[in-house]
Chain A
C-alpha cells in the first residue's frame, strides 16, 4: 500500500482504480487473505474504491542437468524434461506489486 500511495502521489492521481499484484504459489501468501488485508488498509484513502486483482504466477524451473526450462506444479518441482530434481526455481515464490491504475487530474 505504501508503494501504491507513493506511485499515486508521484503521479498526482486523484483516485486509484485498480491494483494488480502478482503472487507466486510458493510464496506462502494466500491471495484471498491479501485481498482482505488490502481492502481494510485502503479504507479512507484514495484507493478506497480500487479494484484489487491478483494474478497467479506460473511456477517455472530451470534444470541444472539438461538445461531445459519447464513449467512445474506446486508440489512437483522436478524437471519436466528429464525428471531430475536438481532444478532452480525461476519464478513462483514471489510477491510483486505489478501494476497500479490511476485516474489523473490532468
Chain B
C-alpha cells in the first residue's frame, strides 16, 4: 500500500485508510493522493501548533545508523543551558534512542512506529499530546532511519536536515534524489573516520547534492571528536533567528519539499476518459 516501499499505512493514518475504503475493497492511486493530501492537511495543523508556541521544529533524516542520535546528544550538551529543547523519536522497536536523549536531561517522546518505515503528520500530532510545547525553543524529530519515504511526508516541521555518514559513500545524493532534494541542510557525519576511508570525498558528495539543483549548505562534523559542531550550532541559531523574524511578520518557515511538478500537473481535469470499446453486446 505504500507509495514508495510497501507500507504507507502507519498506525497514525490507519483509521483514515479504513474509512476511505468503499465496500468493494478498492484503494490505491486516489488513496495515495488522498493520503498525502490528508497528511499535508494534518501537517499544516501541526505547524500551527508549533508556530503558536514559537518552537522551531527540525526533521532529522538519514540511513539507519548515520549518527542522528549521537548528533542530538552532542547538540543538547552544547545548547541545554541556553535553549529549551525536546525530541520526538521515531524508532521501529526500541526505546534506546529515547533513553539516550532523556539521559541528557531533556524531554523525549518515543513514537513506536512498529513496522512503518517513516513518520507521518498524524503520528507526530499524537506525540504532541505527550509533550509540552510551551516554553520550548527547539524541537527535533528523529525520523526513522530510511533514505526513501520519510522525504515524502510533511510533518508540520520547519526544516529538513539530512545526514550522510562518510561510511555510506559520497554517491548517496545521486542514488536517493527524492530525499536529498528535500534537504535544507546536508550534514556529513563521522568525519573522524575519514583517515580510514580512501573513497569518500566531501566534494563529490556536495557536487552530487548540487546536481539535484539543491544549493543547501553542507556541514561536515564528527559527534565523536566534536569537529564541525560549531558550524552546526551556528546554523541552528541562525535558523531560530530567521524563524522568529518570519513569525513576527505572521509568516512561517516551510521545509524544502518541492512538489512543483505535482502542483503544476495534478489539477482536476487532468484525468481524461476514453471509452475505447463498445463490446457490451458481446458481454450480454
Contacts and interface: CB of A to CB of B under 8 A. Distances in A.
Given A2-B22, A21-B29, A90-B261, A28 B276 contact: no
B3 A34 contact: yes
Q: Is the interface of B mostly helix, strand, loop or mixed?
A: mixed
A86 B160 CA distance: 19
Interface string A91-106: 1111111111111111
B4 A28 contact: yes
Contacts of B1: 37
B91 to A, nearest CB: 22
Contacts of A61: 213
A2 B29 CA distance: 8
Contacts of B173: 75
Contact of B211 (A28, A33, A34, A75): A75
Contacts of B283: 14-15, 103
B260 A3 contact: no
Nearest to A19: B29
Interface string A12-56: 011101100100101111100110011001111101000000000
Contacts of B215: 85-86
A41 B28 contact: yes
B279 interface: yes
B261 A24 contact: yes
A47 B25 CA distance: 12
Interface residues of A, number: 58
A5 B273 CA distance: 12
Contacts of A95: 3, 29, 32-33, 262, 266
Contact of B29 (A24, A28, A38, A89): A38
Contacts of A76: 211-212
What DSSP secondary structure best describes chain A's contact surface?
Answer: mixed
B113 interface: no
A88 B277 contact: no
Given A45-B24, A95-B266, A99-B272, A30 B31 contact: no
Contact of A100 (B3, B4, B177, B271): B271
Given A28-B178, A76-B211, A77-B212, A45 B25 contact: yes
Interface in B202-246: 208, 210-215
Nearest to A35: B28
Given A2-B20, A106-B280, A100 B273 contact: yes
Contact of B274 (A14, A29, A77, A99): A99
Contacts of A106: 278, 280
Interface of A: 1-5, 7, 11, 13-15, 17-18, 21, 24, 26-30, 33-34, 37-38, 41-45, 47, 57, 61, 74-78, 85-106
17 contacts: A1-B26, A26-B178, A33-B2, A37-B2, A41-B28, A42-B26, A45-B24, A74-B177, A75-B174, A78-B210, A85-B214, A88-B260, A94-B259, A94-B262, A99-B274, A100-B271, A103-B283
Interface of B: 1-6, 20, 22, 24-34, 148-149, 151-152, 173-175, 177-178, 181, 208, 210-215, 258-262, 264-266, 270-280, 283
Given A99-B274, A100-B271, 8 more contacts: A3-B271, A29-B4, A75-B175, A91-B265, A95-B29, A96-B266, A99-B271, A102-B273
